[in-house]
């Protein structure tokens, strides 16, 4: 294969991030174009009609259906709390009354004198959607939501779990090769998005979920730890709906993987800033990758990059397959002819000088370019 290409994971210091935020049902958009909004601000809301609860009053009181109104203490349209008295019989001499209490909080919607049945309705359920990121409303999707835009530091990971979360960036390790251990995660990290180095295990993840850590960004994880933490095996990479208490974003891959220096430096430089993270990943055509967005209001986006021209001599690359998985290097040579590798397969290769000075010959399919 002549063409190697990167999966296109974005690591940008200042780029324009645009997010579409939609209600699941039509409702009311409460933000306006031009509004500056915060990640937790509600931008649209709707209410779902409450659940209907039928109540056979005539049957319960042992009265003819036509008489139900006589015994009712509430009128149609009245609202009530749970366990209020809804109806009662007169009893004998004021004693031995049969009392029917409201089984739910809600309102009385309908009284039928034909069946003796009441229809009670629970209060409407409010459904809201927030902005997810701090930014400016740049478009309104009528009755459904908005598009929020901001200039932000934007980093995509290779794999993640857990849904949207917001928190303050905090560095947990000093170097991208460091690993996160359970004892590093403390209760004071609650509400934070922690930046780790090369590795996290399942015990540390459990600790993070226990202390209310919002998110963790780290280079690698063992698949076995991931399975221990989730309680099941991930077959096809479709994630994001796990209910696990913490969102995890892996930047490099499975195993102990030093986070790319540039990613680490960029995230650490944003320590103390508010960020939004989403672990949702779908690795299939129409791919979704996990992300972290750290808004930088008032700053200008860097000029858009010219589309990459493919591998060239001098290009910085990362090796994405064993035996040198994760190593960074520079392209030294791009021999056009096919060459035989250890497996005896004849493939297009490239010569690379790794950071430690080692010279290696690699299949072109096994490197990705690093955008500078």
Site of interaction with another protein (CB under 8 A):
1-5, 7-8, 10, 22, 24-25, 46, 48, 125, 127, 158-159, 222-224, 227, 233-238, 240-241, 253-255, 280, 282-287, 289, 307-308, 320-323, 325, 341-345, 347, 362-363, 365-366, 368
Q: First-to-last CA distance in the chain?
A: 24
Rounded-to-integer distance, Cα 211 and Cα 228, Å: 18
Min. distance of Cβ 323 from another protein in angstroms? 6
Neighbours of 1 (CB within 10 A): 9
Token duo for residue 266: 């960029």
Is 17 or 61 the residue whose CB approaches another protein more closely? 17
**Least distance from another protein to the Cβ atom of residue 119, Å:** 16
Taking the least distance from each CB to another protein, the nearer of 156 and 270 is 156
| Three-state secondary-structure class, residue 226 | helix
Tell me how far, at minimum, the Cβ of 255 lies from another protein, in Å.
Answer: 4
Spatial contact of 129 and 145, defined as CB atoms under 8 Å apart = yes
CB of 70 to another protein, least distance (A): 33
In angstroms, the CA 116 to CA 61 distance is 10
Classify strands 215-221 and 192-195 as parallel, antiparallel or unpaired. parallel
Structure tokens at 284: 């299939």
Q: Which is nearer to another protein, 80 or 199 (CB)?
A: 199
Cβ proximity to another protein: between 65 and 253 the closer is: 253
Closest approach, Cβ 62 to another protein, in A, equals 30
Residue 46 or 153 with smaller CB distance to another protein: 46
Of 181 and 282, CB closest to another protein: 282
Question: Which tokens sit at 62?
Answer: 């042992």
Rounded to a whole number of angstroms, the minimum distance from the CB of residue 308 to another protein is 8
| 229 sits in which H/E element | helix 223-230
Residue 319: phi, psi to the nearest 5?
-85, 130
In the complex, minimum distance from the CB of residue 239 to another protein, in angstroms, rounded to a whole number = 10
Alpha carbons within 13 angstroms on the beta-carbon side of residue 164 total 11
Residue 9 or 275: which CB sits closer to another protein?
9
Burial code (b: 16+ CB inside 10 Å, e: under 16) for 313-322 equals eebebbbbee
Q: Closer to another protein at the Cβ: 10 or 358? A: 10
Phi, psi of 314 (to 5 degrees): 100, -15
The nearest distance, CB 334 to another protein, in angstroms, is 13
Output the CA angle 276-298-307, nearest 5 degrees.
75
């Amino acid at each position: 294969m002549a063409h190697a290409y990167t999966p296109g994971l974005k690591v940008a210091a200042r780029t324009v991030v645009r997010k579409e935020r939609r209600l699941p049902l039509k409702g009311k958009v409460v933000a306006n174009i031009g509004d500056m909004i915060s990640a937790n601000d509600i931008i649209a809301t709707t209410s779902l009609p409450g659940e209907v609860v039928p109540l056979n009053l005539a049957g319960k009181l042992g009265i003819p259906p036509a008489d139900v109104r006589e015994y009712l203490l509430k009128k149609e349209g009245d609202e009530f709390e749970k366990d209020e008295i809804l109806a009662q019989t007169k009893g004998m001499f004021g004693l031995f009354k049969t009392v029917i209490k409201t089984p739910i909080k809600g309102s009385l919607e309908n009284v039928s004198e034909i069946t003796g049945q009441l229809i009670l309705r629970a209060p409407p359920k409010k459904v809201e959607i927030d902005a997810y990121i701090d930014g400016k409303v740049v478009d309104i999707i009528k009755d459904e939501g908005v598009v929020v835009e901001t200039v932000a530091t934007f980093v995509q990971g290779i794999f993640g779990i857990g849904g949207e979360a917001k928190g303050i960036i905090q560095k947990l390790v000093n170097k991208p090769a460091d690993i996160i251990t359970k004892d590093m995660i403390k209760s004071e990290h609650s509400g934070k998005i922690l930046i780790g180095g090369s590795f996290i295990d399942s015990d540390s993840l459990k600790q993070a979920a226990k202390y209310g850590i919002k998110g963790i960004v780290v280079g690698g994880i063992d698949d076995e730890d991931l399975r221990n933490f989730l309680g099941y095996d991930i077959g096809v990479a479709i994630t994001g709906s796990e209910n696990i208490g913490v969102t995890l974003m892996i930047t490099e891959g499975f195993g102990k993987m030093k986070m790319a220096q540039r990613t680490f430096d960029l995230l650490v430089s944003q320590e103390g800033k508010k960020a939004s993270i989403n672990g949702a990943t779908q690795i299939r055509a129409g791919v979704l990758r996990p992300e972290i967005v750290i808004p930088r209001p008032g700053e200008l986006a860097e000029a858009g990059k010219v589309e990459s021209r493919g591998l060239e001599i001098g290009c910085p690359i990362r090796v994405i397959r064993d035996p040198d998985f994760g190593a960074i290097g520079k392209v030294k040579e791009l021999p056009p002819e096919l060459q035989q590798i250890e497996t005896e397969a004849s493939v297009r290769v490239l010569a690379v000088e790794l950071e430690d000075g080692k010279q290696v010959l690699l299949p072109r399919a096994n490197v990705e370019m690093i955008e500078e």
